[in-house]
Amino acid sequence: MSEDAAHPLFTAYRPNRRTLLQAGSLALLLAGKQQIAFGASIMAVRVWPAEDYSRVTLESDVPLVAKQTLIQSPPRLAVDIEGLQLNSALKELVAKVRPDDPNIAAIRVGQNSPNVVRLVIDLKQDAVPQVFSLKPVASYQHRLVFDLYPSKPVDPLEALIQERLRDASSHPDLPPGLSPSPSAPAQDPLGDLIAKHSQPNAAPPTPAAPATSTATAPTPAAPASKTPGSSMTASPAPARKTDRIIIVALDPGHGGEDPGAVGPKGTYEKDVVLKIAKLLRDRINKSTVNGSPMRAYMTRDGDFFVPLGVRVQKARRVQADLFISIHADAFTRPSAAGASVYALSHKGASSTAARWLADKENQADLVGGLNVRSQDKGVQEMLLDMSTTAQINDSLKLGTALLTQIGDFARLHKPRVEQAGFAVLKAPDIPSVLIETAFISNPDEEQKLRSPTYQVKLADAMMDGIRQYFIKNPPLARSRTV
């Protein structure tokens, strides 16, 4: 026995089994935290610009911990990300910012301290940032997402006006919707709105109120005139309601972080359906039905993600008369083929395949990356089944008209409109359908979807189906306050 051990104040420490197990668990816990805090590797970085909002995504092998500070003047978002070393993937962010990004001016990255990378996002306008994390899903690992919403959101009716103004500027001799002379009737009631909007110091339009079933067309104001002998100039006529502009909401599926289905040759569903939607938009904007001009409104016109509930909300804000969601199907077997049209169902899916597809499409928010905590009550309600029997019946009529036209040249997967609980079709007051244009997982149909000629055929068929629906089912009278 040693001299120290023989000392009466010395007591030998002999840990028991429980103490050893606790110490081992603590060591493993600390090691796990060390991996999260200091072992992260950036796998990819992405920037998605859009008028609605701009998104920055950092994808990593483990969750990232970030602290953000919004600075008002000049507007910028500073983010400190723990456990990172500045690498080439992070540096790529600087070059990924596009000059036409409406929200982000530039991104700067730097090693703020040995284990902290600072990310500074310079903004073009005041923004409301949302920073959140997403767990691994589909082909993605952990994602840290920065959504930058403009403080003054883009109004969908304003977007329609600006689009119409751009169309008018391309035809200076006779802008669409504007009459060639004061005495001639307007070709497009939206022209009155555009003329008012073009006046100096014109006030921005008021967002539309929810749709009403019927309304009496307002009596046009009498033209202002000068009093004899008066030198005063006549004041412009007061703003009036524009009556019976038929608005069709087009909803290209997926987008941004969510590519949708991917074909054997690497064709992204989100890209194909956006091209088809733009072709259909051009046809709608040049069309009239029963003397009423038509306008298309797109839930997305670029490569960015839109949550399912927001897609429905956008269509309701512009008081759309129809809602058409455009997709390209995929299945585990490449032999699956044919186009399909779907409406909502109150009583469950009309087939096992319809239920499977609805479940798959309803997962878009998980893949695209939705900050669930940021959803307001109105958007959450869009995901509830608020549809009416009348809406579903009208949707079935619209779907049948579309399916008939598409079936004239394309193979159909099912000869009738199918039904299932698609979240994106749950607008209570808008006939809504989802079109699966073809199976992008089928090599032959993928090749067709890549063909501009076939895309034109699809757009023409959809336009004919929309026109046939309105001929048989004229839209209710409706006034839109602008």
Residues 318, 459 within the same domain: yes
pLDDT value of position 348: 73
Please tell me whether residues 136 and 258 are part of one structural domain.
Answer: no
To the nearest 10 degrees (0 to 180), the angle between helices 156-169 and 190-198 is 90
**pLDDT over 50 at 97, yes or no:** yes
Sheet with strand 54-60: strands edge to edge: 42-48, 54-60, 142-150, 127-134
Instruction: Tell me which of 131, 150, 169 is where a domain ends.
Output: 150
Q: How confident is residue 370, by pLDDT bands cut at 50, 70 and 90?
A: confident
**One domain for residues 140 and 254:** no
CA gap 194, 65 in Å, rounded: 48
**DSSP per residue, 45-80:** EEEE--SS-EEEEEEESS--EEEEEEETTTTEEEEE
Whether residues 443 and 339 fall in one domain: yes
Q: Please indicate, yes or no, whether residues 265 and 141 belong to a single structural domain of this protein.
A: no
> Does residue 144 sit in the same domain as residue 252?
no
Instruction: Say if CB 90 and CB 42 are below 8 A apart.
Output: yes
Check the CA dihedral 140-141-146-147 and report its sign. Answer: positive
Question: 480 CB contacts (<8 Å, ≥6 apart)?
Answer: 208, 241, 242, 243, 245, 319
Say which residue the tokens 């979240």 belong to: 423
Mean pLDDT of 440-449: 97
pTM score of the predicted model: 0.77
Nearest to 399 by CA among 470, 330, 465, 476: 465
Res. 183: pLDDT tops 50? no
Q: Exposed e or buried b for every residue in 431-455, given b needs 16+ CB within 10 A? A: bbbbbbbbbbbbeebbebbbeeebb
Contact in structure between 134 and 123 (CB atoms under 8 Å): no
Q: Are 250 and 123 members of one domain? A: no
Tens of pLDDT, residue by residue over 270-316, are 999 999 999 999 999 999 998 889 999 999 999 999 999 999 999 99
More confident of the two residues 268 and 361: 268
Q: According to the model, what pLDDT value does residue 386 have?
A: 54
Which pLDDT band, with edges at 50, 70 and 90, does 127 fall under?
Answer: very high
Choice between 267 and 349, residue whose per-residue pLDDT is larger: 267
Across the chain, what does the average pLDDT equal? 80
Residue 217 to residues 86, 157, 178, 242, 321, Cα–Cα distance (Å):
63, 20, 20, 8, 17
Amino acid at 19: T
Instruction: Decide if pLDDT at 209 tops 60.
Output: no
Are residue 135 and residue 276 in the same domain, yes or no? no
Residue 174 lies in a domain: no
Q: What is the pLDDT of residue 355?
A: 86
> Is 178 among the domain residues?
no
Examine residue 176 and state whether it is found in any structural domain, yes or no.
Answer: no
Decide which of 101, 128, 150 is a domain's last residue.
Answer: 150
Q: Which domain holds residue 280?
A: 246-480
pLDDT of residue 238 exceeding 90 = no
> What's residue 198's pLDDT?
52
Average pLDDT for 392-409? 97
* Structure confidence at residue 464 as a pLDDT band (50, 70, 90): very high
| Same-domain pairing of 298 and 419 | yes
Quote the pLDDT of residue 40. 84
pLDDT greater than 60 at residue 482: no
Terminal CA-to-CA distance of the chain, rounded, Å? Answer: 97
Residue 138 lies in a domain: yes
What proportion of the chain, given as a percentage, has pLDDT over 90? 56
Q: Which of 25 and 123 is assigned the larger pLDDT? A: 123
pLDDT score, position 287: 94
* pLDDT band, residue 461 (cuts 50/70/90): very high
pLDDT one-digit tens code per residue, 311-359:
999 999 998 999 999 999 999 899 999 999 999 987 778 778 888 888 8
Beta bridge partners of 42: 60
Question: Per the domain annotation, does 332 fall within a domain?
Answer: yes
From 87, 119, 150, give the residue that closes a domain.
Answer: 150
- The answer to whether residue 404 is domain-embedded is yes
Tell me, what's the pLDDT at 449?
98
Residue 213 has pLDDT above 70, yes or no: no
pLDDT, tens digit, 9 for 90 and up, residues 101-126: 999 999 999 999 888 999 999 999 99
The number of distinct structural domains making up the chain is 2
Q: What's the pLDDT score for residue 211? A: 38
Tokens (6 digits) for 339: 């186009």
- Please compute the mean of the pLDDT values over residues 88-109 and round it to a whole number: 95
- Shared domain check, 340 and 462: yes
7 within domain boundaries: no
Residue 110 near residue 86 (C-beta atoms within 8 A): yes
What pLDDT, on the 0 to 100 scale, is given for residue 194?
A: 52
Q: The CATH number of the domain where 125 resides is what? A: 2.60.40.3500
- Of the two residues 254 and 221, the one the predictor is more confident about is 254
328 and 437 assigned to the same domain: yes
Look at residue 476 and tell me whether its pLDDT is greater than 90.
Answer: no
Q: Tell me: pLDDT of 27 over 50.
A: no
Nearest to 284 by CA among 87, 29, 460, 43: 460
Residue 224: is its pLDDT beyond 80?
no
What are 298's strand-pairing partners?
250
Confidence of residue 240 (pLDDT cuts 50, 70, 90): very low
Residue 90 or 221, more confident: 90
Contacts of 6 (CB under 8 A, 6+ apart): none
Residue 422 counted as domain residue: yes
CATH number at 461 reads 3.40.630.40
145 with 259, same domain?
no
Q: Which residues sit opposite 103 in a β-bridge?
A: none
Q: Report strand pairing: 418-420 vs 340-344.
A: parallel
Asked if the peptide bond before residue 252 counts as cis, ω within 30 degrees of 0, the response is no
